[in-house]
């Protein structure tokens, strides 16, 4: 298995876990968001590798989902699957960048001292610790229109990756 295949396999596993967690009302939003962030990052790394980006460039960063959207502008099979001309395709992908950025920022390494889905952080005054499982994730990034469109794109990429990048 090469790195692209490994990232894709793990992205599919994380995505499946994300979808399973969505079906359980007793699961916290932080758990769903955690698996969404991880699946998105690994899928983006697989897509970047499939597009010719060097392994060293993707292995050392968590900032890959927005970059992947820029690379997908040149993925003709994916553009055809959406049935959009070049301008509409680029505009659609560009409109998803804020949603991709909000998902990237759920990663502890990118969240800095703020909310992330994995580790506690402190309040602004540093007085208290906040656990992700107790944080009110509002606005819920999964309810944003752009995020919903991004999730549909991620789902299509995960299902048809080999055909789209073959």
pLDDT digits (tens, 9 = 90+) for 88-129: 999 999 999 999 999 999 999 999 888 999 999 998 888 899
Question: Average pLDDT in the 34-61 region?
Answer: 97
Cα–Cα distance measured from residue 61 to residue 72, given in angstroms and rounded to the nearest whole number: 18
Report the domain count for the chain.
1
Q: Is the pLDDT of residue 49 over 90?
A: yes
What share of the chain in percent tops pLDDT 90? 88
Phi, psi of 129 (to 5 degrees): -95, 145
Say if CB 48 and CB 68 are below 8 A apart: yes
> What residue numbers bound the domain in which 98 lies?
3-165
Cα–Cα distance measured from residue 150 to residue 75, given in angstroms and rounded to the nearest whole number: 16
Res. 150 pLDDT band, cuts 50 70 90: very high
């Amino acid at each position: 298995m090469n790195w692209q295949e490994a990232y894709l396999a793990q992205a599919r596993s994380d995505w499946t876990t994300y979808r399973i967690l969505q079906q359980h009302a007793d699961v916290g939003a932080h758990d769903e968001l955690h698996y969404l962030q991880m699946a998105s990052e690994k899928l983006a790394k697989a897509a970047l590798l499939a597009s010719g980006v060097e392994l060293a460039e993707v292995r050392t960063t968590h900032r890959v989902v927005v970059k992947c959207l820029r690379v997908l502008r040149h993925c003709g099979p994916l553009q055809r699957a959406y049935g959009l001309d070049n301008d509409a395709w680029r505009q659609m992908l560009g409109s998803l960048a804020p949603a991709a950025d909000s998902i990237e920022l759920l990663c502890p390494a990118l969240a800095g001292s703020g909310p992330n889905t994995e580790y506690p952080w402190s309040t602004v005054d540093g007085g208290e610790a906040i656990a992700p499982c107790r944080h009110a994730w509002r606005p819920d990034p999964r309810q944003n229109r752009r995020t919903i469109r991004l999730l549909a794109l991620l789902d299509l990429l995960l299902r048809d990756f080999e055909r789209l990048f073959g």
